[in-house]
Structure 1
Amino acid sequence: MSGVAFEDDILLERERARFVRRRSLRLLGSLLRPMRWRFALMLLLVTTAQGARALGPLLVASALDAGLPTLLGGDPTRVLVDGGLYLTAAVAGGVLTLWFIRLNARISQAVLFDLRKRVFLHTQRLSLEFHETYTSGRIIARQTSDLDAVREVLDSGVNQLLSGFLYMAFIAALLFVLDPWSGLMLLVTAVPVWFLTRWFQQKSQLHYRSTRVASANLIVQFVETMAGHRAVQAFHREKRNAAEHARLAEEYRIADQRAVGLIGVYNPGLVLIGNLAVAGILAVDGYRVFAGALPLGALVAAVLYAKRFFTPVQDMAQFYNSMQSSVAALEKISGLLEEQPTIRPPRQPVALPRAAGRIEFDGVRFAYTPGRDILPRLDVDIAAGQTVALVGSTGAGKSTLAKLVARFYDASEGEVRLDGVDVRDLAFADLRRAVVMVTQEAFLFSGSIADNIAIGRPGATLDEIRAAARAVGADRFIELLPEGYDTDVNKRGGRLSAGQRQLVSFARAFLADPAVLILDEATSSLDLPSEALVQRGLAKLLRGRTAIIIAHRLSTVEIADRVLVLGGGRVLEDGTPAELVASGGEFAALHAEWEASTV
């Protein structure tokens, strides 16, 4: 049974490899399709150029065998014609090659531009579920090292492969025209070349895929270490991270060394076979010349063709190394582009130009992974304009509930409705305009404070931006900055404190003016003075709109009209803060602990 299972695994792996190969070819075809006429012209140019290059030895043979006797007889016409044709072929080959290389560069850059744009736009369209499982380091690897590998092949590799293959084909064909026996000897020596190349292909394919995996692992570890440098320094992980980086770098070095080491076998093997071919043709054809069965010019041309025949093979071998890296990179990129958003826009969206803000959970069940329900069944009705606080221990389902309202995820069963409309039936533009979430992270983009606030409503005037900042109490610290609202926040808002970043995100939400506002631990990073300031701003921010507040700080919960205590994905308690404190339940216990901590 184990042997059968092993064979089945091999068959499945081969089928998967064929599927991945077909997927990559479809992607490449879609990239080249818009430039098919330029690509056809490129093929014509390279074919003509290599044909012109291959004519040289044939013209040398003609000059020696036909032109030299007439020249000795006093007629230089044939030698001049052959010399002129040789010069014309050389110039034409050079000019056409230059044209081909420049056209190939334009095509490759257009393909890379299209591919880079596709990866970026597609990654943006993918759902939150994808970004929570697919690490940022892997996405960066797709946009950097993998695209660079594709670029290297498109820029120079195609030239080597296509030019080399056509040049070898023309050499073999012209040598057969010149002397079939010499052509046959050359093809006989091509048999060991084929076996050697096949061995090299199989081995290098395996090693270069290992190299790509090792490279991606190294990039992921580097990106995560740099992104979490505060935690690294806080917990003294420098030595451990350095050891992990050294281990991954060593794996990359070994994988790369094995891949490069194959060249040390392949290239000398090609040189040996090429030299043997030249020696064999020189010996056999030399005897035939001595016997009068072959002209001297044909011998010279046959030797020249034999020497030239194996030169492109070495170039193609170098290209094959890059090609394996590129194929592996293209497979990863095509896999990323095959990812589909789990949250898709409705085919026939229901219009909701101005939402009131009523939210209903009707028999909602949700699980991130099948069989592990986060929300077993939830039935909740939140009236428009009501402020509801969600309270409960970690893992109770608070953030999950908020993500379902914002439709970052879809319910496994049941419906989440906004103003009586299933959120799955709303256009993304209407839903994102109606529902805004402010998270604990308070992410800011590079640029000015005004630009970051204006994300809430692009096109807002500076007066509107100032009014939004003033409403949530952010104007006080902004006006103290050297350049006020034009102050650059630096990368990810690094110039501002955590509390200041949170106030900017509040101003952004205020400017967006949503019907439903979700605050997911949005005040957790504020100090007490800032929190007191924000509490006053929140009162104005929440006025006239539905709000869902997720917070462990009960000072934030106290401004709520209603509190839902969650546990195990179910509503354990439901009422006003005062009612729940008086009832003596779980919320009352939490409230008592909070009051004791503030004394």
Structure 2
Amino acid sequence: MSMQGVQNEEKIHLNKEEQARVRERSLKLLGEIVRPVRSRLFISLALVMTSQALRVSGPFLIAMVIEKALPAAQAGDFSVLYWTVGGIFATTVLAGVTIAFFMRFAAKVNQDIMFGLRKRLFRHTQNLSIEFHETYTSGRVIARQTSDLDSIKELLDSGGSEMISGILFMLFTAIALITLDFSSFLIMLVSFIPLFFLTRWFQKNTRINYRKTRVASAKLIVHFVETMTGIRAVKAFRKEKRNEDTYKELVEDYRFVNAKVIQLFGIYDPGLIMIGNITVSFVLLWGGYRVIQGDLGIGVLVAAILYARSFYDPMENIAMFYNSYQSANSALEKISGVLEEEPSVPDPVDSLPLAPRKGHLNFNTVEFAYSNGKVVLPTFNLDIPAGQTIALVGTTGAGKSTMAKLISRFYDPSSGTVELDGVDLRKLKDDDLRKAIVMVTQEAYLFSGTVAENISLGKPGATREEVEASAKAVGAHEFILSLPDGYDTDVNKRGGRVSAGQRQLISFARAFIADPTVLILDEATSSLDIPSERMVQHGLQTLLAGRTAIIIAHRLSTVSIADRVIVMEHGKMIEDDTPAKLIAGTGKFAKMHKAWRDSLV
């Protein structure tokens, strides 16, 4: 199976080819995020090397005190003792200062890395096509932006510095021990055999379990987000108990995989301690024998024991780093998968300018199928003259919303072209396309901020006069003035809540101020009750005047303002004429209209 992008991201057991593919992708991303700060990383490395070299010098200087300074002091020469003790004091202070400076410097570098990655992930995810967001759940997107980024941040903040410090400390300790007593170093080297096998076992098992923890964590977030997003439906269908049971199962799965990781550390940490203590015992035994034989100085033995004892201290920190690394690596795999995704409707390399404002739309032998192969629109031709308002009607799944998505270029046709004023939409820059074509949806989504800010989204930089003029044009001005702070009312704060009809009027004002050539209303009034629908009818007529409009509606009351009605069924046009002629006929639309009229009686 392919590991391209986010495909199979929840797969736990990967074959060698898949592991290599994911590892390559993750390492590539890691290289990209550290490249801007690589010069500062070298400075950080120099600082930590200096600090660890100073730390390691301590036992060496102690050996000097015992072997050289104390005998010299007994002979009346205290200068060597003063110099060596002063050296111990100086190296201790310098090591502390260097470590403190390194920690502050590294923290700034880490923050810059995370800042760049957060911006990149947000920008890339936002720029991906609608197809991605319709298949990749919002909960998984949130998991990438929160828990996964936090795992990488934890690795950079603590794990990375501890790992580098630990490795350098062990390296310098080994060098110092080779210099002091090579045979003690050989004893320590032999201990690497059981240490190697223990560490390999630990790595193999934690890699799988950390991948499981990321999957389990993502499932928790997805379930929580979906529950809270659909809380009205949850309460309406009394789904709380089922959701709670599902959440408990997911929490139990998450607890289980985390417990497995803890169990692995419960074996690894004691194993490290045991290997370290046994190694120190052998160094002491062999070194003591040589001291008795007169082949080794007592000061060198003390230093060798101190080095052997401290050599294994960083191993636990390195193990903790591996803990953070496995969690961050799993997160990096998923983030790199998202960043590897490409927009399915990319901006053209060689764009064409859009003709002066007209609004002529043309579907030229268009076919469309989703990525799963399901054909929604078989070969389809449609011509919509500039300035015409057409209504698309039909049962659910007839292809109406698909047509709207093709006109908005949320998707590209599988074959054929959708043209605006003779230009293939695939040849238009995204900015030009979004200015020319605006869609008003059923949700009438309002962003955090004031009413005026929400309206001005249609025209960034719009003046207050332009905002109020657009609201007046669609009939929203009066109710906006009745809000607690008028146009400055925060729509998400208490007292600033607006009804469904009022939200729709604000979205109409937003579309009006954008002044598009083509306007798409995708069931924009289907969620409104009759009084609310009547409230927005005037605004709707004002909004449609002088522009090409496509209305997708279940309610036939909205169709009455259209110049032309197209009845869709299974992706095909089965009727196409004026509302009056279709109502007077005997076709599907006439039957739909009669059923709707009878429902009002």
TM-score category (smaller protein) = over 0.9
2:3: which partner in 1? none
Does 2:123 align with 1:102?
Answer: no
Amino acid at match of 1:102: R
2:420: which partner in 1? 418
1:67: which partner in 2? 69
2:567: which partner in 1? 565
Output the CA distance in 1 between the equivalents of 2:349 and 2:514.
26
Per-residue CA distance 1:503-542 (angstroms, 9 max, x = gap): 1111111111111110000011222222223222222211
SS in structure 2 opposite 1:495?
A: coil
> Does the aligned pair in 2 maintain the 1:365–1:378 contact within 8 Å?
yes
> Does the aligned pair in 1 maintain the 2:483–2:496 contact within 8 Å?
no
> Does the aligned pair in 1 maintain the 2:425–2:433 contact within 8 Å?
yes
Amino acid at match of 1:445: F
Per-residue CA distance 1:544-576 (angstroms, 9 max, x = gap): 100000001111101110000111111100100
1:4: which partner in 2? none
SS in structure 2 opposite 1:446?
A: coil
Amino acid at match of 2:142: I
2:153: which partner in 1? 151
2:180: which partner in 1? 178
> Does the aligned pair in 2 maintain the 1:444–1:492 contact within 8 Å?
no
Amino acid at match of 2:519: L
Long gaps (5+) in structure 1: 1-8
Per-residue CA distance 1:370-420 (angstroms, 9 max, x = gap): 542100011000000000000111100000001101100000000100001
Output the CA distance in 2 between the equivalents of 1:415 and 1:33.
42
Long gaps (5+) in structure 2: 1-10
Which has the larger displacement, 457-466 or 402-411?
Answer: 457-466
Does 2:404 align with 1:402?
Answer: yes
Does 2:367 align with 1:351?
Answer: no
> Does the aligned pair in 2 maintain the 1:60–1:301 contact within 8 Å?
yes
1:444: which partner in 2? 446
Deviation at 1:175, TM superposition (A): 0.5
From 92, 110, 127, give the equivalent of 1:90.
92
2:7: which partner in 1? none
TM-score (ref. length: structure 2):
0.96
Deviation at 1:491, TM superposition (A): 7.2
> Does the aligned pair in 2 maintain the 1:445–1:491 contact within 8 Å?
no
Output the CA distance in 1 between the equivalents of 2:196 and 2:77.
46
> Does the aligned pair in 2 maintain the 1:182–1:285 contact within 8 Å?
yes
Output the CA distance in 1 between the equivalents of 2:50 and 2:466.
65
Output the CA distance in 2 between the equivalents of 1:226 and 1:127.
25
Output the CA distance in 2 between the equivalents of 1:182 and 1:12.
43
SS in structure 2 opposite 1:457?
A: coil
Which has the larger displacement, 378-387 or 495-504?
Answer: 495-504
1:211: which partner in 2? 213
Cα 1:48–1:515 shift into 2, 3 Å: same
From 67, 79, 83, give the equivalent of 1:81.
83
> Does the aligned pair in 1 maintain the 2:223–2:247 contact within 8 Å?
yes
Does 2:127 align with 1:125?
Answer: yes
Deviation at 1:581, TM superposition (A): 1.5
Deviation at 1:122, TM superposition (A): 0.6
Cα 1:456–1:492 shift into 2, 3 Å: farther
Amino acid at match of 2:540: L
TM-score (ref. length: structure 1):
0.96
> Does the aligned pair in 2 maintain the 1:445–1:493 contact within 8 Å?
no
2:431: which partner in 1? 429
Cα 1:446–1:477 shift into 2, 3 Å: same
Cα 1:303–1:77 shift into 2, 3 Å: same
Deviation at 1:12, TM superposition (A): 7.0
2:548: which partner in 1? 546
Cα 1:294–1:201 shift into 2, 3 Å: same
> Does the aligned pair in 2 maintain the 1:446–1:493 contact within 8 Å?
no
Count of residues in Structure 1 that have an aligned counterpart in Structure 2: 591
1:3: which partner in 2? none
1:315: which partner in 2? 317
From 485, 500, 513, give the equivalent of 2:502.
500
Cα 1:370–1:274 shift into 2, 3 Å: closer
2:274: which partner in 1? 272
Identity of aligned residues (%): 56
> Does the aligned pair in 2 maintain the 1:581–1:587 contact within 8 Å?
yes
Amino acid at match of 2:74: L
Deviation at 1:243, TM superposition (A): 0.5
Cα 1:427–1:389 shift into 2, 3 Å: same
2:385: which partner in 1? 383
> Does the aligned pair in 1 maintain the 2:466–2:513 contact within 8 Å?
yes
Deviation at 1:207, TM superposition (A): 1.1
1:112: which partner in 2? 114
> Does the aligned pair in 2 maintain the 1:119–1:143 contact within 8 Å?
yes
> Does the aligned pair in 1 maintain the 2:61–2:87 contact within 8 Å?
yes
SS in structure 1 opposite 2:142?
A: helix
From 219, 238, 241, give the equivalent of 2:240.
238
SS in structure 2 opposite 1:369?
A: coil
Cα 1:363–1:466 shift into 2, 3 Å: same
